[in-house]
């Protein structure tokens, strides 16, 4: 009996892993394709694209495409710009949007419900539909810098950051998550005289690892993949981000190997960021000792 049970468990474990691996293959194959293609010359890349060789580092393998990509475009500048703009936006966004979410869920104040409904309505607006009016606006906004007041935000980092710090979706993410947190805890803390800041910092934030991570990765993806907006507001190469940089590779005859190399390179920061956050996703509420 015991042996059969053990066998069963072993078998079940194997099935589980088999399922996990099968699904993993489905999710990862285009990316393996991308990575392997980046090592091949164009001619071979296209010949391989229809069969299993597409996933194997076979044939004429080299890093030539990577070298060529750096020749063609200032890849490092693009990645730096994207990481900078994305990083600042994500940080500010988490701060402001979680604070707003906190205020919407835990604090009672005048105008709360109306404003929340209005905010949710903005979720719906695809950015493209407001891009032109927004462009006309930012082209004439003032800015106070070290050298006094200047007009117009074009060709800067701020024009790529400030309009995107707050958005309805991120606020909404926090609102929905905070609703699941034990409200009595907050009330109890208030009764004991804790300040709002203390409650936010000491009680809510430690409980909200998963949602901060989710909001961060979502914002990161949106910002890192920006194309239309930076295209419209950066005329100087020095401010361009990675997705605008991708266009450098689509000449009349596309250099597919270089495209794949560039894509592989610009995917690294996002993947790194996700892996860094991964732990936070599973930071269980139980581990903090709070029970719902």
> Considering only residues 24-53, where is the footprint of other proteins by CB under 8 A?
24, 26-28, 30-31, 33-34, 42-43, 46-47, 49-51
For residues 64 and 225, which CB has a smaller minimum distance to other proteins in the complex? 225
> Considering only residues 196-225, where is the footprint of other proteins by CB under 8 A?
196, 200, 210-211, 213-214, 217-218, 221, 224-225
User: Using the rule CB under 8 A, which residue among 94, 233, 261, 265 binds other proteins?
Assistant: 233
Structure tokens at 137: 């606006």
> Rounded to an integer, what distance in angstroms lies between the CA atom of residue 185 and that of residue 287?
16
Q: Which of 44, 60, 34, 87 is nearest to 246 (CA)?
A: 34
Angle in degrees, 0-180, between the axes of helices 75-106 and 256-281, rounded to the nearest 10: 30
> Considering only residues 86-105, where is the footprint of other proteins by CB under 8 A?
96-97, 99-100, 102-104
> Considering only residues 131-150, where is the footprint of other proteins by CB under 8 A?
132-139
Q: Does position 191 bind other proteins by CB under 8 A?
A: yes
User: Using the rule CB under 8 A, which residue among 176, 198, 205, 276 binds other proteins?
Assistant: 176
DSSP states of 181-196? S-HHHHHHHHHTT--H
Structure tokens at 174: 């926090």
Q: Residue 287, Cα to own-chain centre: how many angstroms?
A: 26
Q: Does position 285 bind other proteins by CB under 8 A?
A: yes
What is the enclosing helix (H) or strand (E) of 141? Answer: none
Q: Which stretch binds other proteins (CB under 8 A): 2-10, 56-64, 83-91, 259-267?
A: 259-267
């Amino acid at each position: 009996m015991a042996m059969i049970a053990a066998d069963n468990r072993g078998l079940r474990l194997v099935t589980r892993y088999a399922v996990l691996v099968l699904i993993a293959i489905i999710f990862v194959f285009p990316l393996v394709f991308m990575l392997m293609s980046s090592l091949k010359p164009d001619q071979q890349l296209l010949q391989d694209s229809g069969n299993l060789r597409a996933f194997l580092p076979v044939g004429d393998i080299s890093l030539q495409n990577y070298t060529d990509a750096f020749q063609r475009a200032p890849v490092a500048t693009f990645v730096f710009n994207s990481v900078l703009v994305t990083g600042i936006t994500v940080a500010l966004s988490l701060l402001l949007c979680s604070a707003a979410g906190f205020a919407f869920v835990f604090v009672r104040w005048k105008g709360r419900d109306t404003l929340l409904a209005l905010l949710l309505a903005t979720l719906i607006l695809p950015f493209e539909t407001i891009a032109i009016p927004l462009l006309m606006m930012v082209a004439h906004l003032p800015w106070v810098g070290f050298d006094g007041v200047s007009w117009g935000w074009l060709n800067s980092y701020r024009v790529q950051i400030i309009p995107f710090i707050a958005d309805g979706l991120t606020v909404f993410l926090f609102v929905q998550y905070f609703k699941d947190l034990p409200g009595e805890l907050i009330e109890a803390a208030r009764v004991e005289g804790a300040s709002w800041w203390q409650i936010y910092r000491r009680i809510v934030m430690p409980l909200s690892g998963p949602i901060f991570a989710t909001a961060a990765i979502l914002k990161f993806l949106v910002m890192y993949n920006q194309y239309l907006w930076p295209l419209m507001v950066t005329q100087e190469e020095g401010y361009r981000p990675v997705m605008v940089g991708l266009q450098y590779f689509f000449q009349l005859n596309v250099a597919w190997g270089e495209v794949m190399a560039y894509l592989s390179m610009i995917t690294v920061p996002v993947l790194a960021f996700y892996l860094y956050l991964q732990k936070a996703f599973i930071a269980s509420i139980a581990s903090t000792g709070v029970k719902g």
